[in-house]
Amino acid sequence: MAKSLSERVVASGIRAMLAAIVVLATLAASPALAADAQVKIANFTFDPPILTVKAGTTVTWVNADDIPHIVLEKDGKFRSSALDTGDKFSQTFSTDGTVEYFCAIHPHMTGKIVITP
């Protein structure tokens, strides 16, 4: 059975919206918009424990625990203040390599940032 004109208009509108969503999703995943990355601190773990980013990326740690944590580079090159629940700490990684860090007050919590050129 042939679709009515109005049904065809609606269908075409939905197709246009879907296309727009696909474009937006592609943009969000593109390297240009991925310059910021996040590590969630939850259940006394860094998530993801190993994060790979391009050089120049700013990584933000967000504490979702009811207990404060401190992000500390293994050799002390950077250190956050005590992050209470919801607090954030950001660090920009400009050169490639691997950065190891841990929680200064719960040192069994460890994580890595792998920076690619």
Partner 1 sequence: MHEINLVADDPKNEGDDSGLSRRGALKCMVWAGTGILWTVSGGVPKSLGLLGDALAAVPTGFSFFQISDSHIGFNKPANPDALGTLREAIGKVKAVKFRPAFMIHTGDITHLSRADEFDNAEQIISEAKLNVHYVPGEHDFVDEGVGKAYLDRYGKGTKGQGWYSFDDHGVHFIGLVNVVDLKAGGLGRLGADQLAWLADDLKDKSASTPIVVFAHIPLWTVYADWGWGTDDGLQVLDLLKRFGSVTVLNGHIHQIVQKVEGSMTFHTARSTCFPQPAPGTAPSPGPMTVPADQLRSVLGITSVDVRIGDRPLAITDTTLAE
Residues of this chain that bind partner 1 (CB under 8 A):
42-45, 65-68, 70, 74, 81-82, 84-85, 100-102, 104-110
User: Which residue, 38 or 47, has its beta carbon nearer to partner 1?
Assistant: 47
- Cα separation, 84 vs 67, whole angstroms: 7
User: Which residue, 109 or 115, has its beta carbon nearer to partner 1?
Assistant: 109
Alpha-carbon distance values, 100 to 19, 27, 50, 104 (Å): 41, 30, 9, 12
Record the tokens describing residue 97, joined without a space: 């390599």
User: Which residue, 3 or 74, has its beta carbon nearer to partner 1?
Assistant: 74
Rounded least distance, CB 45 to partner 1, Å? 7
Rounded least distance, CB 63 to partner 1, Å? 11
- Cα separation, 33 vs 31, whole angstroms: 5
